[in-house]
Structure formats: C-alpha cells, structure tokens
Amino acid sequence: MISGNLDRRVTFQSKAESVNAAGERALTWSTDFTTWAFKMELKGKEKFESSQLVDRADIMIKVRYRENIDEEGRFFIDRRGVNAFYDIYSITEIGRQEGLQIFGKLLKRT
C-alpha cells in the first residue's frame, strides 16, 4: 500500500453500553484508534463494479492492515471541522495482510 495515498484521518469507534446512576442503560461510542486512510466516494459505476455485497455502501476506504476493527462499529472522517459518520458495512482484506478495504454507509454529518 502506497503511504502517499493515505491522506485522510479516519477515527474508528465501537459500541459501548453504559449505565447511569439511575441504572438506565445507554448506548455510547468509544474511540478505538485514529489512522490514515485512502478515501473513495462510491458512485453508480463503482458500486456496480465492487460487488453485489456492497451495493448499499456510500464510501470505500483503504487502511493498513490491523486486526482490531469492530465490524459492528463505525468510523468518521473529519473534514474542516465537519464529521461524516459511516456505519461499517463490509471489511475485505487486501493481499496477505497488506491492508483492509472497508465499505461504509453514511449515517450523519455533524
């Protein structure tokens, strides 16, 4: 994986359940790590060529290989103070642990 192509900071988060003082459970997100990634917005043609498994994905990112990405988690990309949150839809290994190709579905922008 060419490091010059990894030009976006991406933060990965996983679900965490917390309990408040009244004993009520709440779903929160805990930050796992931040890394550099290559980002590609998926349009109609790219969605078709990628595969039928990711036909609902909005974005594809590539990161260096690591084992601690929560497949039920999410990630966000900070762009000039605006965070775009994406639900992880699919994770595919590139080569022999060279990197990961991660497809995401847009959740919200803040």
pLDDT of residue 19: 84
Q: What is the pLDDT of residues 30-79, one digit of tens each?
A: 999 999 999 988 875 545 555 555 556 789 999 999 998 988 999 999 77
Vertex 56: Cα angle to 51 and 61 (nearest 5)? 70
Please tell me the predicted confidence (pLDDT) of residue 74: 95
Question: What's 77's domain CATH number?
Answer: 2.40.10.270
Task: Give dist(CA 7, CA 27) in Å, integer.
Answer: 31
Count of the separate structural domains present in the chain: 1
Model confidence over 10-35: pLDDT tens digits? 999 999 888 888 888 888 899 999 99
pLDDT of residue 5: 83
Residue 88 · residue 104 · CB < 8 Å:
yes
Strand pairing report for 74-79 and 25-41: unpaired
**C-alpha 71: how far from chain center:** 9
Residue 80 has pLDDT above 90, yes or no: no
Range of the domain at 20: 3-109
- How would you classify the pairing of strands 74-79 and 99-109? unpaired
